[in-house]
Structure 1
Amino acid sequence: MSKKSIDFKDSKYYNNRELSWIAFNDRVLEEARDKTNPLLERVRFLAITQSNLDEFFNVRVASLRKMVAVNYDTPDAAGMTPLQQLTAIAKAAHAMVDKQYTTWSRSLEPRLAELGIKLKAMDELSPHQQQFCRDYFEQELYPVLTPMGVDPTRPFPFLANNSLNLAIRLQRPEDEGDDNEKARSFATVQIPDMFPRVLRLPDGENDFILLENIIKAHLGSLFVGATIRETALFRVTRDMDLDVAEEDASDLMKEIQSQLKKRQRGKVMRLEIDAEMSKYLKKKLIKGLDIEKEADVYAIKGPIDLNVLSKLVKQVQGHSELQYPPFTPYLDQSLMQGNLFAQIREHDLFLQHPYDSFTPVVEFIHQAALDPQVLAVKMTLYRVSSKSPIISYLKLAAQNGKQVTVLVELKARFDEENNVHWAQELERAGCHVIYGLVGLKTHCKLALVVRRDEDGIRRYMHMATGNYNDVTARVYTDMGLFTADTEMGTDASNIFNMLSGFSEPAYFNKLVIAPLGIRDFLKERIEEEIAEAQAGRKALIAMKMNSLSDSDMIEALYRASAAGVKIHLIVRGICNLRVGIPGVSENITVHSIVGRFLEHSRIYYFYAGGEEHLYLSSADLMKRNLSRRVELLFPILQDDIHARICEIFQTMWDDNVKTRLLQPDNSWDRVDLRGVNKLDAQATFLAAAQAQTAAQLAHREDNQEDPQANRRFTPLTAPQDEEAGE
């Protein structure tokens, strides 16, 4: 087949986005099944798969349901209509749920029990433990619980998203007959979420019981005069996708707040029920909740909502060996002891989180708030922590007379309420708060400090691949750059002018933004690699991202591969690209790393005839990032930082412990470790950070060792497997 005759848009060359996401969640589930991981960390991974799946139904399944409701049947890049996608999703999701609970019941729960960590049933309790549960119910729970009967005078109650509830079949005196078949009265009781769902029991260091089991055992107190014939737990997942008509909203914040209230009443996307639930109760729920298809009902053989397992892990006492060893990020003390702006002016500074501490980023805003020479602080905020120190320092800067402008993205999914709160706090402190552009989410990570130096006005910047969130910076891998580059500073000012006013810069010097330019910029770099390959010279593209789903960018990569360009991709999550297609993607290799930390950094590298152009970005190669968000892509120009990032990428590329390889059949296989040395990239970076911390301490003690001497990444040998895989 000639290259000119290849239709790179052919649907058979693309994976479906949603099924690719489910494959990613399955890779997370594999970590729960991996016996080389500490046991309690395996339990955490299992809980993460539940959280991931919940959000998937809240948003992605909800979006497809809306398409079907309006008869939208245009196929995606993989040739699947929304209805076909929903059918395939249901099949894959049911298989995943079965795998989740098999992992719990056959592997994790028995191993925990061997170590004395137990979620006990009521019939397993000692008399003292039973008395504890009885007292807890009577003193704590009974005053709060509200039974909700359903009959012609009492409509089926509204049940909130992700709430746990008991479905109850009972027999009242007015029911005819006295046998079980005549017990047809129906009620629900919500498991209150203001109480801990996992309760520690007395007489056992790590004996626990689930809140719903205590309530079930004492339900009779709520239905005096009736006989309870059956109880079963269930949970609903609703449409939680926010639908804000910005063009029609005179006040975006009020519109967001209004939609937040409406969102809780979204249509039910999934019903999880106790697998032992009777047909009678199941039918009652399906009718009462307006469940459309049997496939939307998931029969659960274990504790409904595995998010509860993360709460269990937090309560386990002792057994530190069952968790990852504690880790303190490396903090370069020189960044904290002097004027940070003077250091940035001297040379660019690079941080790799979580191995490098996030503290210098917070200190950047802190020093800006206190420095009398600082005139203005401008910053974009997408997701911040609930007790963000950065917010505190922005408020301090405004109180100290600085011109503070903050773009708070109100539409950051599931952080809307938190961001509305922070926007109001910042406004009260005297900051100028802007909410972004109509129709676009502002996802770029950019902080700009304008300072009057001795030789005039200078701009100092921090740009990053991840959010200004001090909490997630401990568990997400991200990269950040401090620079005082003049041209980048001009570009940064133009970006903020564009966001806050009506400015439309004619061009940018070094920074590239979406939706105006990142797509075209990357395609131009790809075309340059194609030209190099066609000229018979070395051509290489290396990229790392969270997701790769934009069909236009995939087509460009296919064309590059067909031309002979070698392409190395590290994609954590969704990957719509397929490998191993003759004449199309034979030169593309895709890795995915799933480990202790969530891989979040975005790296874009092009060999460029030996010039080796390197960029970091807030943007994945997804249509939403490139076309519907304000994103930032910035070059790495300082030689030592350039070399370090390339070394970081190579270490990740060489990982053979936590890496999976995408196969031509769309499966993901682990690396064959026979006869090779193991290399765990995240463990390697952790070891390097710890060595650097130790070297810095020794340097302070005897002034003999340079802490930078241990910055090299020496591969860390992973422990050998002691048990065969499941």
Structure 2
Amino acid sequence: MTKLLSPYVNRDLSWIEFNRRVLEEAQDTRNPLLERAKFLSIVSSNLDEFMSVRVAGIQDQMRAGLTKTDFTGYTPAGLWKRLIKRATSMVFEQYRTYREVTRCLAKEGICIRAVDELNATQKKAVSDYFHEIVFPVLTPMAVDQSRPFPLVHTKELYLAVLLKREDATDEEEPLFAIVQVPSILSRYVPVQGRINSKKQEFVLLEDVIEQFIDTLFNGYMPFAVHPFRLTRNADLTLNEEGAEDLLEEIEKELRRRRWGIPVRLEVAKGMHPYALETLRDELEIEDNLFEIDGPLDLSFLLRFVGSLPGYDNLRYEKMEPVYPREFDESDDMFEIIRQRDVLMYHPYESFEAVNDFVLQAAYDSDVLAIKMTLYRVSGQSALVQALAKAAEAGKQVTVVVELKARFDEERNIAWARQLEKAGCHVVYGLVGLKTHAKILLVVRREQGTLRRYVHVGTGNYNDNTATLYTDIGLFTAHPVIGGDASALFNEVTGYSSPYEWKAFGVAPTDLREKLFRLIDRERDNALAGRKAHIIAKMNSLSNQDMIDKLYEASQAGVKIDLIVRGVCCLRPGVPGRSENIKVFSIVDRYLEHARVMYFYNGGEEEVYLSSADWMTRNLMKRIELMCPVFDPGLRMILINMLRLNLEDDVKARELKPSGLYEPVASRSDTPFRSQFEAKKIQLWKGHA
């Protein structure tokens, strides 16, 4: 008898499928070679975070003895086994792809070699580099009765070393030591090319250290040297209500991360059995072991590719973001926004416009206040500098900084302190809720009254990721949106009774219910025999109630197109439940990050921008924002953008009822790649 499929795809298994789609980009020979290497790096970084957060959480459930199934039908133990099996298979494919990519790079003159493959002159150069630069940084750490096993930091690379005394007998047990590969030094070491050769040659730092490992252990003979790497539980556990100072509490938790419970151990394939047994015993790792046939931690490839000069033929064609032409009409951005709303589509349009807006507000004598949220900020943020200047100029500057943005906590703590020193009012949000909304409010005095200028976005106020992610930003002076923006900041920073939002949908209070009403309206139109259509673009869809609501709409006859880059727990195309739903995922040069929702609404089409994915955490446990786009012309631009995604037959994959993804079949003789077509945004914004 055929086993009936669950109505839902498991979230974590869906994530594995997403990372597999990233891996497929590394395998796609249509992509430039150095870009394929970048995708290999992203696969590793993604898997690191998945292991340290999601898999770590499942292990916590197993240790607590939980055996209850989740809404997709999995117990923690059953899910863990399946995840490890699929992750192991994916890592095997990743390293097979790595070997293929490095072979192709070698043909192009970019060679990562073993030290033994170098000629005498090159070996001499590597020896000099080791003794002058590397050796002084290294610290060998022996393990014996007087020296306990040292702390192994999460996601750092180490060498396990087995040694014998020079006069030892064959029966003596090996001695064990570890050496950390210093992350402060480059993972890849350039070596002078051979005579009359145009090749660029490199060796890996761990191979250099292994070559000269005997210099660290005088009087002993190293006979086995193997790389290993540990991943620890990195999820923060905060008691916000009991914390007198949230900033200090998070700093304490960040220090505890170094002692997190081991989750995964990666070792070089063929590791000596004694070394492997020692590591497993000391680190208390039983099952989650990955034997790697190649260099551990391929995330170094991102910097490696970025450090190579030239080779433009092996990269994507350069794409310079254009400055939004609406703002070319006047030096006064306030004047432009007063006249009309302005939509920006990153990375095709430059994030510099947002920086310039805040900077103009900082120096404008009529600006009284600036308020904004910061979730993830770049290392050299022009926005933060502009906010500091505004505060120093006497403006009322309020910044809601999210200290709990995972893996950006330390950077956000530093920014919070810098802003406070400049005189900004820094708020850390509400207890128990992450502030994930992306909103900027400027209050300006004009002709005896106050006018509010608002920017809302689907992505972070981060000028680095704005060149790598596709996101939407909207500038508006619409009074209804301005009123909602003021109310939102009042709720986050002070005491405020529940507000009746005029335009916004705000989580956790009413965003989910507002989305439900919009979906139900389409369902009712379908039941009445009218055309009904929903298009929703987001990063993830995993909330069970939201999925059930979409199933109801599908059963009523609503056509539903979902563009979900990552996790999707909805199972489309199931007769009687979801036959009217299609789900697509696009993984391409840029990370698809925009959240855009479209509702046909009987021909009175509505479009919304949002910071929120349709996940339980976004709808119930975060401060999120959904904002309507009132301007008809801008609505049509966004509808066209969604249609571009739905027409993609190069990088789009379609989710099948099985829970697996398949490439979209070509629709014509001319391949259609939405991210490349989106470069024409200025044309369909009406700027020839």
Match in the other structure for 1:603: 596
Counterpart check, 1:490 vs 2:483: yes
Rounded to whole Å, the distance in 2 between the matches of 1:612 and 1:524 is: 15
1:311-350 equivalent positions in 2, closer than 5 A: 311-333=303-325, 335=327, 337-350=330-343
Counterpart of 1:62 (choices 56, 62, 67) is: 56
> Which sits farther off after the overlay, 679-688 or 327-336?
327-336
> Which sits farther off after the overlay, 467-476 or 449-458?
449-458
State the AA in 2 paired with 1:603: V
Say if 1:452 and 1:675 are closer, same or farther in 2 by CA, change over 3 A.
closer
Match in the other structure for 1:35: 29
Q: Tell whether the 8 Å contact from 1:206 to 1:316 is kept in structure 2 after alignment.
A: no
Q: Tell whether the 8 Å contact from 2:595 to 2:610 is kept in structure 1 after alignment.
A: yes
Match in the other structure for 2:95: 101
Stretches of structure 2 lacking an aligned partner (at least 5 in a row): none
State the AA in 2 paired with 1:149: A
Match in the other structure for 2:264: 270
Match in the other structure for 1:443: 436
Q: TM-score, normalised by structure 2?
A: 0.97
Q: Tell whether the 8 Å contact from 1:170 to 1:186 is kept in structure 2 after alignment.
A: yes
CA shift at 1:75, angstroms? 1.8
Q: Tell whether the 8 Å contact from 1:244 to 1:259 is kept in structure 2 after alignment.
A: yes
Say if 1:206 and 1:560 are closer, same or farther in 2 by CA, change over 3 A.
same
Match in the other structure for 1:381: 374
Match in the other structure for 1:723: none
State the AA in 1 paired with 2:18: F
CA shift at 1:685, angstroms? 1.3
CA shift at 1:348, angstroms? 0.5
Counterpart check, 1:708 vs 2:652: no
Counterpart of 2:360 (choices 356, 361, 367) is: 367
Say if 1:683 and 1:573 are closer, same or farther in 2 by CA, change over 3 A.
same
CA shift at 1:311, angstroms? 2.4
Counterpart of 1:526 (choices 519, 532, 535) is: 519
Counterpart check, 1:221 vs 2:250: no
Counterpart of 2:20 (choices 22, 26, 37) is: 26
Counterpart of 2:293 (choices 282, 301, 322) is: 301
State the AA in 2 paired with 1:199: V
1:84-483 equivalent positions in 2, closer than 5 A: 84-105=78-99, 107-173=100-166, 175=168, 177=169, 179=170, 182=172, 184-203=174-193, 205-291=199-285, 293-294=286-287, 296-333=288-325, 335=327, 337-483=330-476
Counterpart of 1:83 (choices 77, 88, 101) is: 77
CA shift at 1:276, angstroms? 1.5
CA shift at 1:688, angstroms? 4.5
CA shift at 1:332, angstroms? 3.0
Q: What is the aligned residue count?
A: 680
CA shift at 1:652, angstroms? 1.0
CA shift at 1:686, angstroms? 2.0
1:687-706 equivalent positions in 2, closer than 5 A: 687-688=680-681
Q: Tell whether the 8 Å contact from 2:522 to 2:553 is kept in structure 1 after alignment.
A: yes
1:555-570 equivalent positions in 2, closer than 5 A: 555-570=548-563
Rounded to whole Å, the distance in 2 between the matches of 1:199 and 1:223 is: 23
Q: Tell whether the 8 Å contact from 1:11 to 1:78 is kept in structure 2 after alignment.
A: no
State the AA in 2 paired with 1:303: P
Rounded to whole Å, the distance in 2 between the matches of 1:621 and 1:73 is: 26
Q: Does the residue aligned with 1:271 lie in a helix, a strand or coil?
A: strand
CA shift at 1:606, angstroms? 0.9
Rounded to whole Å, the distance in 1 between the matches of 2:182 and 2:427 is: 37
Q: Does the residue aligned with 1:142 lie in a helix, a strand or coil?
A: helix
Q: Does the residue aligned with 1:13 lie in a helix, a strand or coil?
A: coil
CA shift at 1:449, angstroms? 0.3
Rounded to whole Å, the distance in 2 between the matches of 1:282 and 1:88 is: 24
Rounded to whole Å, the distance in 2 between the matches of 1:506 and 1:527 is: 23
Rounded to whole Å, the distance in 2 between the matches of 1:708 and 1:400 is: 38
Say if 1:317 and 1:435 are closer, same or farther in 2 by CA, change over 3 A.
same
Match in the other structure for 1:515: 508
CA shift at 1:243, angstroms? 1.0
Q: Tell whether the 8 Å contact from 2:18 to 2:567 is kept in structure 1 after alignment.
A: yes
Q: Does the residue aligned with 2:185 lie in a helix, a strand or coil?
A: coil
1:145-182 per-position Cα deviation (integer Å, ceiling 9, x unaligned): 1111111111111110111111111111464x1x4x64
State the AA in 1 paired with 2:570: L
Rounded to whole Å, the distance in 1 between the matches of 2:377 and 2:292 is: 35
State the AA in 2 paired with 1:40: L
Say if 1:42 and 1:343 are closer, same or farther in 2 by CA, change over 3 A.
same
Q: Tell whether the 8 Å contact from 1:170 to 1:183 is kept in structure 2 after alignment.
A: no
Match in the other structure for 2:641: 648
Q: Tell whether the 8 Å contact from 1:466 to 1:618 is kept in structure 2 after alignment.
A: yes
Rounded to whole Å, the distance in 1 between the matches of 2:667 and 2:396 is: 60
Q: Tell whether the 8 Å contact from 2:41 to 2:301 is kept in structure 1 after alignment.
A: yes
Q: Tell whether the 8 Å contact from 1:538 to 1:609 is kept in structure 2 after alignment.
A: yes
Q: Tell whether the 8 Å contact from 1:533 to 1:563 is kept in structure 2 after alignment.
A: yes
Match in the other structure for 2:664: 671
Q: Does the residue aligned with 1:641 lie in a helix, a strand or coil?
A: helix
Q: Does the residue aligned with 1:266 lie in a helix, a strand or coil?
A: coil
1:221-241 per-position Cα deviation (integer Å, ceiling 9, x unaligned): 111111111111111111111
Q: Does the residue aligned with 1:549 lie in a helix, a strand or coil?
A: coil
Q: Does the residue aligned with 2:241 lie in a helix, a strand or coil?
A: helix
State the AA in 1 paired with 2:302: S
CA shift at 1:314, angstroms? 2.0
Rounded to whole Å, the distance in 2 between the matches of 1:86 and 1:416 is: 28
Q: Tell whether the 8 Å contact from 1:11 to 1:79 is kept in structure 2 after alignment.
A: no
1:83-108 per-position Cα deviation (integer Å, ceiling 9, x unaligned): 21111111011001101001111x21
Stretches of structure 1 lacking an aligned partner (at least 5 in a row): 1-9, 693-706, 711-726
Rounded to whole Å, the distance in 1 between the matches of 2:336 and 2:401 is: 29
Rounded to whole Å, the distance in 2 between the matches of 1:11 and 1:526 is: 25
CA shift at 1:113, angstroms? 1.1
1:194-246 per-position Cα deviation (integer Å, ceiling 9, x unaligned): 11011111125410010011100001111111111111111111111111110
Q: Tell whether the 8 Å contact from 2:326 to 2:336 is kept in structure 1 after alignment.
A: no
Rounded to whole Å, the distance in 1 between the matches of 2:397 and 2:116 is: 61
State the AA in 1 paired with 2:72: A
Identity of aligned residues (%): 46
Considering only aligned residues, what root-mean-square deviation do their CA atoms show, in Å? 1.4
1:9-47 per-position Cα deviation (integer Å, ceiling 9, x unaligned): x98100110000000000000000001000000010011
Q: Tell whether the 8 Å contact from 2:193 to 2:200 is kept in structure 1 after alignment.
A: no
Match in the other structure for 1:6: none
Rounded to whole Å, the distance in 2 between the matches of 1:428 and 1:174 is: 63
